[in-house]
Amino acid sequence: MKKALFLMFTAGIGLSACGEYSQVASYKPGSYQGKSDTRPWEGGKFAGDKAAWEAALASRNQNQNEYKKAN
């Protein structure tokens, strides 16, 4: 009885592994399925002001300029 129960349990575990499905994403040609990205200046403290974002970026780049730091 124990052997039959063990074989049934083993067969049940073995067959449950066969129930996996393919995890590959399917794509429709010509359409993007993912999340749409926002521009860096469209959110946060800039709220759509591209010029302010570019000025902040240029200022940050100048603060990282090693030639400016050496003088």
- Tell me the pLDDT tens digit for each residue of 9-58: 888 777 776 767 777 877 778 877 778 888 888 888 888 899 999 999 99
Whether residue 67 is contained in a domain is answered as: yes
Please tell me the pTM assigned to this model.
0.45
Q: Which domain holds residue 46?
A: 39-71
* 29, part of any domain: no
| Residue 45 in domain | yes
> Is 71 domain-assigned?
yes
Quote the number of domains for the chain: 1
The residue behind tokens 């073995």 is 14
Q: What sign results for the dihedral spanned by CA atoms 43, 44, 47, 48?
A: negative
Answer yes or no: is 54 within a domain: yes
**Residue 18 within a domain:** no
